[in-house]
Chains A and B, each alone.
Chain A
Amino acid sequence: MKEPSKKSEIEYCKVCRLHHDHGSRHKYFPRHKDLLSTFLDRFRTKIADVRFFLKNPSVLRPQEQSQNRVWCVFCDEDIVELGSSFACSKAINHFASSDHLKNVKQFLSKNGPAMDCIDDFRISEANVATWRRKCQSLGSEDASSFKGSCEQLSGTSNDIHNKLAFKTMDKIENVPAQLINSHHSSDVLPLQYNTNKYQISHSELPGVAHYGSYLNMDSSHLPLHTDPPSNLPGNGFGKHVIPSRSKDYPSSQDQERKQIKGSYSSPGEVGMTSISSSHSSDACGNVHSGAPPPWLDANDGNSSNVQLNQSDMSSSFQAKIPGNTRKLNPNRVGAAWAEKRKIEIEMEKRGQTMNSKVDAEWLPNFGRVWQSGTRKESRKEFEKEKRKLVKTESISTESEPVKIQPYISKRARRETGENGSG
């Protein structure tokens, strides 16, 4: 008798946004896993934005401070950059803090995938230290250029897009001309400007094209990455994408600079920059050539194994070879007979001529209506009856045909006898 499942107290799942009493089993439900992957993706894009500023610290203008905010889903707090001089400085400090790490661990243990993706949701101390150094160096430079850009912008409308576009121009001029590649690729050029506030700030670095409203840093890797990874199932996704990101980040800045196009459109006009495909051609290939995606290389073919497993499973479901089906209860009715028969069928298929001719007298195992003993007895009884029936039929056919004569009474017979004699 199966015990009824334990009822846990009602909890609220942040990921699924519903109350449940599944207890600790909830995190293994497929719906939860799907929602968790999208949930974590969204946070990954946010932290990617913050990481961008980690690599490229920029001064945060007081007007933009209120807009520059991040909601940390693990700590359930809003990080607003009030009073900070550099973009995302408070966010960077928060993501590097031990409290945030503790909350991330708690979240992952309660909700979700394995702890190996914990590094996606935090910033290491080393990175923070380098960022601080960059800020310090920037702080000294920027004091002089800040005023200049302010004067330029005072004439234009108070549009944040344009303000940052000017800043971008300043940055581009600093890039050495050797590294500028004016390659007009036939690749699809994604949107550069976006309504998302972080995308806007990222337009400083051209070549960082925008895909939808989420991907920033990864847009430069579009030749390698195809669709947004949200299409991949469940938790496996996280493992695929994160290594590529972490691998690429240290070198991404250099690569992006190489891909910068020389000419730049005038401010106020949404210009397009082409990304050189030299990087992709150097690599193994792209999605069009059918090359494996980079996350597979990073994971040493983990996902390819997953795909293989899936295909194996599907093929096993489709294949209905007798004898290769899932394990059946050995105590089921007629199990021994079924196994024997399967072997006979296989041998017949292989061509070994078995005694395929069934005995004409064969009868299945049957319990008769009025039987009192075992089924064997009922069969014996039936065969006895059959033999009796056959005997009576044979007797009736063997006997001479009876001559039917009309009945003559005794008196009539006596009279005929007397008449005959008299």
Chain B
Amino acid sequence: MSSLLLKTLTKKEEIDRIIRDTIDEVLVLRFGRCTDTVCLQHDDILAKSVTDVSKFAKVALVDVDSEDVQVYVKYFDITWFPSTVFFFNAHHLKLDSGTADHTKWVGAFHIKQDFIDVVEAIYRGAMKGKMIVQCPVPPERIPKYQLLYKDV
């Protein structure tokens, strides 16, 4: 259902176009599979919140099973699904949530408000010129995971 509301991107060109065309707004790219349960939960939260953040953010889904997209999967070091990457004016913004990976949000959001808070924090930081922002979500609602360095 959420895939009907949100744009799903399957090609590198589409991703490039959306990154380049989103000006002065946060671009939220979710990398995942629409069949995965955690991705489904995540997509549901995104779909419900998209109108609330529509004035300062755009949301799009990227299907990681597509071959064209693998270059971005490698470039963004995506190992867990779903992973959400944030952009502002074609610049990647980092989110310090206390986890090992600051470059993206790994896992699903628990509630809509968490997602809205994160996007708002990123927008505010970006407008002030910050490339990394503090995550406003409390630690109990941040998904935990293990990062492997070069398969170690």
| Stretch from A242-250, A271-279, A328-336 contacting the other chain | A328-336
**B101-137 vs A: 1/0 string, CB under 8 Å?**
1110000000000000000000001111111000000
Give A362 to B14 CA distance when docked, in angstroms.
12
Q: Which residue of B lies closest to A322 (CB)?
A: B23
Q: Which residue of B lies closest to A330 (CB)?
A: B129
Within 8 Å by CB of A367, from B19, B21, B103, B147, lies B103
Decide: A369 near B20, CB < 8 A? Known: A332-B128, A334-B90, A335-B89: no
Interface SS, A side: loop
Decide: A364 near B127, CB < 8 A? Known: A341-B23, A358-B20, A382-B75: no
A31 CB within 8 Å of chain B: no
Within 8 Å by CB of A369, from B21, B87, B103, lies B103
Q: Are A370's CB and B149's CB within 8 A?
A: yes
Interface size on A, residues (CB 8 A): 29
B76 CB within 8 Å of chain A: yes
Q: Which of A303-348 contact B (CB under 8 A)?
A: 322, 325, 328-329, 331-335, 337-338, 341-342, 345
Give A395 to B17 CA distance when docked, in angstroms.
33
Q: Are B23's CB and A331's CB within 8 A?
A: no
**B76-92 vs A: 1/0 string, CB under 8 Å?**
11000000000111111
**A67-106 vs B: 1/0 string, CB under 8 Å?**
0000000000000000000000000000000000000000
Tally of contacts, chain A with chain B, CB under 8 A: 88
A365 CB within 8 Å of chain B: yes
Q: Are A369's CB and B101's CB within 8 A?
A: yes
Q: Are B16's CB and A328's CB within 8 A?
A: no
Chain A residues with Cβ below 8 Å from B21 are 341, 345
Decide: A338 near B23, CB < 8 A? Known: A364-B90, A368-B77, A369-B103: yes
Interface size on B, residues (CB 8 A): 34
Give A337 to B102 CA distance when docked, in angstroms.
24
Interface SS, B side: mixed
Q: Are A362's CB and B103's CB within 8 A?
A: no
Give A368 to B147 CA distance when docked, in angstroms.
13
Chain A residues with Cβ below 8 Å from B58 are none
Q: Are B16's CB and A362's CB within 8 A?
A: yes
Give A385 to B66 CA distance when docked, in angstroms.
21
Q: Are B77's CB and A358's CB within 8 A?
A: no
Give A333 to B130 CA distance when docked, in angstroms.
7
Q: Are A331's CB and B129's CB within 8 A?
A: yes
A360 CB within 8 Å of chain B: yes
Q: Are A337's CB and B90's CB within 8 A?
A: yes
B67 CB within 8 Å of chain A: no
Q: Which of B34-77 contact A (CB under 8 A)?
A: 71, 74-77
Give A285 to B75 CA distance when docked, in angstroms.
73
Give A325 to B147 CA distance when docked, in angstroms.
42
Q: Are B127's CB and A329's CB within 8 A?
A: yes
Q: Are B93's CB and A333's CB within 8 A?
A: yes
Would you give the shortest CB distance from B69 to chain A, in whole angstroms?
A: 13
Chain A residues with Cβ below 8 Å from B30 are none
Would you give the shortest CB distance from B78 to chain A, in whole angstroms?
A: 9
Chain B residues with Cβ below 8 Å from A363 are 75
Q: Which residue of B lies closest to A344 (CB)?
A: B20
Give A311 to B147 CA distance when docked, in angstroms.
56
Q: Are A367's CB and B74's CB within 8 A?
A: no
Give A335 to B149 CA distance when docked, in angstroms.
34
Q: Which A residues fall within an 8 A CB radius of B?
A: 322, 325, 328-329, 331-335, 337-338, 341-342, 345, 358, 360, 362-370, 375, 382, 385-386
19 A-B pairs with C-beta separation under 8 A:
A328-B24, A329-B128, A331-B129, A332-B88, A333-B89, A333-B93, A333-B129, A334-B88, A337-B89, A338-B89, A341-B20, A345-B23, A358-B13, A364-B91, A365-B90, A365-B91, A366-B103, A367-B131, A369-B101
